[in-house]
Structure 1
Amino acid sequence: MDIFVKGVSPSEEKFDGSSLRILIVHTRWNYQIVEALVRGAEETMISQYQVKRENITVQSVAGAYELPFTAQRLILASRAQAQANNAKIFDAVICIGVLIKGATMHFEYIAEAVAQGIMRVSLDNGVPVVFGVLTCLNDEQALERAGLGDKPGKHNHGIDWGQCAVEMACKNRRWMDGII
């Protein structure tokens, strides 16, 4: 059996992120891992898509359960600010967190609520919201998915989330302009 490469295949389209405004909301829970994921997303958007560093807003919250609420409030605040003083709204949001399964049901409840909440924020606001929440069974899985640790094959998923945010923001702008 051939080995396949996990992840999204590169898009044939080229995306210009130079005019995008991106919000990253991240948790402080499991912060060493989260920090690497945030850095991966930021560096990818800046280096591969020319998103301006000053157009990336980063906010932190305590845990994953708070991600949807914060993303929604900041999207609404950016809309109000845009109307008041001709500023730009957020074109995309990346919610980043790490949930690691423990010995209780807490993991399942939080993972489900966060996934549903993030999807709801995206659909209710018409802004692409990237689900950047790792749901891992152990610490080693989380480290690998943040590009940390000693295992071969590790990959920083923040890179993928940065790519996804730019692609979806650009596509959403086109769709809003009636271009399919």
Structure 2
Amino acid sequence: MSGKGAPVLSVMNGSGLRVAVVAAQWHEKIMNGLVDGALRALDELGIEQRTLLRVPGSFELPVVARALAVHGYDAVVALGVVVRGGTPHFDYVCQGVTQGLTQVSVETGVPIGFGVLTCDTEEQALDRAGLEGSQEDKGHEAVTAAVSTAVTLRSIPEPSRQAVAHGRVE
């Protein structure tokens, strides 16, 4: 199972964070499960300032994630599904989405929760969608990871003026 060995994250003090979820529309049943898991995680974490946006497909996730990141969100969660077919389309979409979301996170400093399922079959995606009978809940996991990272970033102390003046960070 892909979730074997996953860390148990406990998020401390996520209050006041602004979190956005951007979700693709392809594979409606799977996406509904991912979105439900993400919203449940936001509720459990006490995140009140939240936004949910939908885009056509997974390929559109990075551009909207970037817009949300530069508009002051503390964390963005990207949810999508790409199921392998008989053409290289799967490889191109998966690579583009993964690189795009990584680039957004690194360039903006805003954590992006990666809840994009890249599966060989629809059954594998259903098993990860957080639906009744699913083995995993990747929507919930993606929110928890993004919020945990945002809390960690919030805890980084500002460097002292003296350290900045001498080109070193303490």
Cross-structure match for 1:122: 105
**Cα distance in structure 1, aligned partners of 2:27 and 2:157:** 37
Alpha-carbon contact 1:17-1:45 (below 8 Å) kept: no
C-alpha distance after superposition, 1:89-143 (max 9, x if no partner): 2110001000000111100000001000000000010101111100000010000
Cross-structure match for 1:140: 123
TM-score for the superposition, normalised by structure 2: 0.86
Q: Per-residue deviation at 1:51?
A: 1.1
Whose helix fraction is larger, Structure 1's or Structure 2's? 1
Structure 1 residues not aligned, in runs of 5+: 79-88
Aligned sequence identity (%): 36
- State which of 55, 69, 75 in structure 1 corresponds to 2:69: 75
**Cα distance in structure 1, aligned partners of 2:25 and 2:2:** 33
User: One-letter code of the match for 1:117?
Assistant: G
Cross-structure match for 2:149: 168
TM-score for the superposition, normalised by structure 1: 0.81
1:59 and 2:53 matched: yes
Cross-structure match for 1:104: 87
**Cα distance in structure 2, aligned partners of 1:145 and 1:156:** 5
**Cα distance in structure 2, aligned partners of 1:176 and 1:129:** 21
Alpha-carbon contact 2:15-2:47 (below 8 Å) kept: yes
**Cα distance in structure 2, aligned partners of 1:90 and 1:129:** 10
1:92 and 2:75 matched: yes
Aligned pair in 2 of structure 1 residues 176, 131: CA closer, same or farther (>3 Å)?
A: farther
